Amino acid sequence: MLKNVYAPLSGGILQERVMEIISNNLANTNTTAFKEDEISFQEQEANPWPSYAFPHPPAPFKLNMQELWPLKGNEMNYVTLSEIKTAHSQGPVRKTSNSTDIAIQGDGFFEVMTPFGERLTRDGGFSISNDGILITKNGAVVQGENGAITGLGGKDLSILPTGEVYVGKKFVDKIKVVSFQDMTLLERLGENLWIHNGAPDNLKPPIGDLAQGYLEGSNVNPMRNLTNMIIAHRSYEALQKTVKAHDETMQNANKISEVQ
């Protein structure tokens, strides 16, 4: 009878994970250029035992049902996360009139240099450092075709849709925007940064323009996520009741066997 508890037990654990992901989406509804995560499930036979280490979710998570309750793989079914996928669709673009705010209208990422190496972001809420360098709000250096974009001390800053940067009539550099064929090779790092884990041949020419004085908003759909949160919570409660009912049945069975 133990096999009957695996599906609701694993399902309950995964509904907790679903609520974590949805909560993270909702918490970033107003985060510049944030991309929401989407999830799907599948029921699996547990033979052979796989490792449930999901690639870089918003919070650390590992599930191995054999460690949770050891049984032979052919004795039960259980529920797993089929996929955690980031939706890289365009977020809404809003006007800020700040000359260092830049929105990507289309695909691609800004390339920035951090103390840990090159990283990617779509958050174009930039500023100019005291040294006249274009930087992100966390201090990463925005990259141009020739490296750091410097010499921006003046106020007459203009950025063309194609990325060319001018101070007055003087050409400074061109903002570097990179795009990829296989978006699943991008890893979310936090602080609105990403890293590309693929080979150089995964690069492709970006399609789109830059909009100076604008920022891209989050692509999170609050209503859909709230609805999914309610569904996940109700499913979790139902699965809890199923596990509890099974536990009570087992206890009653044990009492009967003791009487006999």
Domain regions of the chain by residue span: 2-89+221-259, 93-216
Mean residue pLDDT of the chain comes to 81
Per-residue confidence (pLDDT) for residue 122, from 0 to 100: 98
- pLDDT at position 138: 94
Dist CA 70 CA 80 (whole Å) = 17
User: How many CB atoms within 10 Å of residue 154?
Assistant: 11
Query: 92-110: per-residue pLDDT in tens?
Result: 999 999 999 999 999 999 9
Does residue 65 surpass a pLDDT of 80? no
Indicate the pLDDT class of residue 79, thresholds 50, 70 and 90.
Answer: low
Banded model confidence at residue 230, pLDDT cuts 50, 70, 90? confident
pLDDT on residue 110:
98
Across 113-125, average pLDDT: 97
Lowest mean pLDDT among 83-92, 104-113, 238-247: 238-247
Q: Is the pLDDT of residue 117 over 60?
A: yes
pLDDT at 124 over 60: yes
Band of residue 84 on the pLDDT scale cut at 50, 70, 90: confident
User: From residue 78, how far is each of 64, 200, 228 by CA, in Å?
Assistant: 11, 39, 21
pLDDT in tens, 24-64: 999 999 999 999 998 765 555 554 444 444 444 444 444 45
Q: How confident is the model at residue 17 (pLDDT cuts 50, 70, 90)?
A: confident
Element (H, E) at 171: strand 170-174
Do the Cβ atoms of 148 and 179 come closer than 8 Å?
no
